[in-house]
Amino acid sequence: MTVPAFQPAPQAPDEAPATLAHSVIIPVYNEEGNLTPLHQAITAIMDATAGGYEMVFVDDGSRDGGFQELAALAARDPRVKVVQLRRNFGQTPAIAAGIDHARGDILIFLDADLQNDPADIPRLLATLAEGYDVVSGWRQHRRDTWLTRQMPSMAANWLISAITGVRLRDYGCSLKAYRREVLSQVHLYGEMHRFIPAYASWVGAAITEIPVTHHPRLRGKSKYGLSRTVKVLLDLLTAKFLASYATKPIYVFGGVGLFLGLLAFLSLAAAIIQKFTIGVSLIQTPLTTLAAILGATGFIAILQGLNAEVALRTYHESQQKPTYTVRRILNGAPPRPAARRDRPPLPLT
């Protein structure tokens, strides 16, 4: 029997879903065995927190028994909403799905692997209440392998902070709290979830960072590794371009053009010097040809990549297409059409 994509609760067609004080959003991929203790830990903390709350588990195409475990939790606890995606889309689309289906005024994110500690949530909320819009966790004492996890993370944190101008010690920590309004203008693609604090800062959000507890992984297998480093670098280039140069691309392409022109001039000058000093013909020297080929190839590759990124965003946003598809929802109705995407896009200045 075909399962419908949505199982909506009865609701007037133009009635917006009721809001809550807090939504705890947890992307899940192959975390069987971690979900029940995580639910218990979150429940113990949030039951003692003022205001209503919900837990939004986004099953990102898990291939283990994780969805069955989530379904059992949803059957017992009406505050558990499970959004099952049709396949593994990746962490960024899973986070976007969680934002779209959450009802809370404050959105709290954490991983499902039990390495983030829900006991830190009250401190995040207390710091948020001091007037901040974003509170990011800092895994001051990480319990991960140094070579494959900590070292690439330190390099990525330094690079992201340097390029975006938003200084955080730990962009990769999933434990964060946001006021919903600062996320309403953020559109997520690729592996852009780690840049959400930078995006929020660019629209004027007040951001701070606090130390949080980090536990070693006890069950399951990490989905992170050195392979993500290249993705981070490429997405960082895209984020910087869209934030700083989307309305003035001549600064990028003109700068590259000037740099390539300078290389061409230096190569030609070297060729001329060779001709008059050691008698090498301009036709025989490979300097100008090599510089032209490498420069033109690099320029075209970067240009095509940026054009593709802009085209992708135009495709999704002009047609209001999400970057994920939902198989079913437990304990919740779908969001109203264009619940977030009818808001103005992220200002690019």
Considering the domain boundaries, does residue 90 fall inside one? Answer: yes
Beta strands 176-179 and 104-109: pairing type? antiparallel
Contact 79, 18 (CB under 8 A): no
pLDDT computed for residue 301 by the predictor: 75
Considering the domain boundaries, does residue 164 fall inside one? Answer: yes
Does pTM top 0.85 for this prediction?
no
- The tens place of each residue's pLDDT in the chain, 349 residues long, gives 333 343 433 333 344 455 789 999 999 999 999 999 999 999 999 999 988 999 999 999 999 999 999 999 999 999 999 999 999 988 889 999 999 999 999 999 999 999 999 999 999 999 999 999 999 999 888 877 777 667 777 888 888 888 888 888 888 889 999 999 888 767 776 677 888 888 888 778 899 999 999 988 777 666 555 556 667 777 777 777 766 665 566 566 667 767 777 787 788 788 788 878 887 776 777 887 877 777 787 777 777 777 766 776 676 666 666 667 788 888 876 665 444 444 444 444 4
pLDDT computed for residue 250 by the predictor: 55
Considering the domain boundaries, does residue 146 fall inside one? Answer: yes
In the chain, the amino acid numbered 145 is T
Bridge partners (DSSP) of residue 277 are none
Query: Cα(233)–Cα(255) distance, rounded to whole angstroms?
Result: 20
- Beta-sheet strand order (sheet of 80-85): 207-212, 134-139, 176-179, 104-109, 20-28, 53-59, 80-85, 326-330
Considering the domain boundaries, does residue 273 fall inside one? Answer: no
Retrieve residue 331's tokens: 């304990």
Q: Domain containing 186: what range?
A: 20-224+322-330
Considering the domain boundaries, does residue 262 fall inside one? Answer: no
What is the number of domains present in the chain?
Answer: 1
CATH, residue 219:
3.90.550.10
Considering the domain boundaries, does residue 6 fall inside one? Answer: no
With b meaning 16 or more CB within 10 Å and e meaning fewer, what string describes 249-278?
Answer: eeebeeeeeeebeebbeebbeebeebeeee
Query: Cα(83)–Cα(77) distance, rounded to whole angstroms?
Result: 15
Considering the domain boundaries, does residue 65 fall inside one? Answer: yes
Considering the domain boundaries, does residue 131 fall inside one? Answer: yes
